[in-house]
Amino acid sequence: MTASPGRQPSLAISFIPVTVLVALLASSVVLFGDGSSGGPNQIALILAAATGILVGVMHGHPWKALQEGIVHGISLSLGAVIILLTVGALIGSWILAGIVPTMIYYGLSLISPAVFYPSACIICALVSISTGSSWTTAGTVGVALIGIGVAQDLNPGLAAGAVISGAYFGDKMSPLSDTTNLAPAMAGTELFTHIRHMAWTTTPSILIAIVLFALIGMNSAAPADTSSVAQIQAAIAGSFNVGLHLLLPVAFVIALVVGKMPAFPALLIGSLVGCVFAAAFQPQAVLTYAASPDLPAWAGIVKGTWMSLFDGFVLESGNAALDELLSRGGMSSMLTTVWLILSAMMFGAVMETTGMLQRIAASILTAVRGTGSLIAATVLTAIGMNVIASDQYIAIVLPGRMFRAEFARRGLHPKNLSRALEDGGTMTSALVPWNTCGAFMATTLGVATFAYAPYAFFNLLNPIISMIYGFTGFTIAKIDAE
């Protein structure tokens, strides 16, 4: 996306929409608390975008150009929106099919509270590095792990932080990941050169995170008693036909993604497989959910599985904790998040179309002196783009375009730039509530962004370690060193 033909606002003017956004978002949190993402944040983003439009018009940017920029910006998020809706369908059908309940049932037996947090992180890391997708990981095994944590009366923010830390480790290091391919393309280096160079910052970050999760787990007070866990397992067994065969769809979807099938068709197929498993192995649960005794059994099963895709599943087992845990999913459950994403992309598009985004980013270069400050500027700009533009792809693309020439001018290998882009852009995207990734994780895992962000240790540590390397010169490669 390029700026429209109008004049580029000054740096001070460019910060006006950002200031308005920060003030409105802060007010939203104060007034509405955890419910701020259910509508108030969207209004804040739209009003901030309107402020940006007003500034743009005053600087000669025609409305038509601004409107085209907004449409283009929103279009960039439609791929994420489609995946988001499909994940909602997958969660609904997998709960109805007994897949998620089965994962929780066996997980309660295998993962003890003392090792839950490091185990959740490692499991998600393995799945994510195999699939290359933090979203797929969170929407499948992540949902089940959160359920296990809730059933064991563990801290949901910590549980989500462990899931997200592991999911983003795999997303960052897997050659199947879109951001892992995008960053070296923007920097001008090769994919596996980029991955090898990232290992220097990523490996210590994930190891420290796992150690922190382990220490917290060992030093936490004993959560739920054994009888509470047993009651939840009994309630699951009483509501669903539990069996290891119900884990086959999970392995199937992972195999599809590892086989390089794009996320949308893989998740859609997984959703439909869930419907088939629901009809085959949970017919009574499906008919009860459909609540249509006047229909033939086959029609009731079709209706029930269809409902799970668009409206999720509602469990009435008599166990309040389990009912709350497994009454979720469906495309409709993602609509508020879609609204948040569209509002955020509208604001980011206005900022970029008017040139204000570029003006803010360019000003950062004036403060760059040595290699350390250049690496820090790249990381911080990528973080800032996640906050302002609300999209991790923009957080990689725009700083990549801005700083590529400066890295070359200083004789720094482009793999330094690609690593910094991921350390700042990919890692922090899930920590911003109105970013597409933050909105997705909060909705999918059922834990507010501000609740899990302090515990997403890997995501928090990685940018810091990256900047430390920049100032110390450790692993900073020169062009002539290759």
SS (H, E, C) 170-211: HHHHCCCCHHHHHHHHHHCCCHHHHHHHHHHHHHHHHHHHHH
> Is residue 465 within 8 Å of residue 199, measured between CB atoms?
no
Q: What is the dihedral of CA 285, 287, 292, 297, to 10 degrees?
A: -170
**What is the CB neighbour count within 10 angstroms for residue 372?**
17
**What is the CB neighbour count within 10 angstroms for residue 363?**
13
d(CA 372, CA 368): 9
> Which helix (H) or strand (E) covers residue 144, if one does?
helix 143-151
Which residues, in sequence order, are CB contacts of 378 under 8 Å at separation 6+? 399, 403, 417, 420, 421, 424
Report the pLDDT value the prediction gives residue 266, as an integer from 0 to 100. Answer: 86
Q: For residue 90, what are its two tokens?
A: 């997958």
Q: Please report which residue ranges of 312-456 form alpha helices under DSSP H.
A: 320-326, 335-353, 356-365, 371-388, 392-409, 414-421, 427-428, 436-445, 449-452
Q: What is the pLDDT along the chain (482 residues), one digit of tens a residue?
A: 555 677 888 989 999 998 998 888 778 877 886 666 678 888 988 999 999 999 999 999 999 999 999 998 888 778 778 887 888 898 899 999 999 888 888 877 777 788 899 999 998 888 888 667 788 788 878 888 898 888 888 899 999 999 999 999 988 888 767 788 878 877 888 888 888 999 999 999 999 999 999 999 888 755 545 566 777 788 888 889 999 999 899 889 888 877 878 878 888 999 999 999 999 999 999 999 998 888 899 999 999 999 999 998 988 888 777 787 788 888 998 888 788 778 878 888 898 899 887 788 778 778 788 899 999 999 999 998 888 877 787 788 778 877 887 898 899 999 999 999 999 999 999 999 888 889 889 988 989 999 999 999 999 999 999 999 999 999 998 987 55
Count Cα neighbours of 92 within 13 Å in the Cβ-side half-sphere.
27
d(CA 417, CA 375): 8
Which residues, in sequence order, are CB contacts of 14 under 8 Å at separation 6+? 351, 355, 356, 357, 359, 360
> Is residue 150 within 8 Å of residue 321, measured between CB atoms?
yes
How does DSSP classify residue 294?
A: T
How does DSSP classify residue 222?
A: P
> Is residue 164 within 8 Å of residue 430, measured between CB atoms?
yes
d(CA 24, CA 1): 26
Report the pLDDT value the prediction gives residue 461, as an integer from 0 to 100. Answer: 96
Angle in degrees, 0-180, between the axes of helices 263-281 and 297-311, rounded to the nearest 10: 140
Which residues, in sequence order, are CB contacts of 242 under 8 Å at separation 6+? 98, 101, 102, 105, 236
Q: Please report which residue ranges of 220-262 form alpha helices under DSSP H.
A: 226-239, 248-258
Report the pLDDT value the prediction gives residue 71, as an integer from 0 to 100. Answer: 92
How does DSSP classify residue 329?
A: -
pTM over 0.75: no
Report the pLDDT value the prediction gives residue 161, as an integer from 0 to 100. Answer: 97
> How many Å separate Cα 266 from the centre of its chain?
18
Report the pLDDT value the prediction gives residue 235, as an integer from 0 to 100. Answer: 87
179 closest CA partner among 376, 424, 362: 424
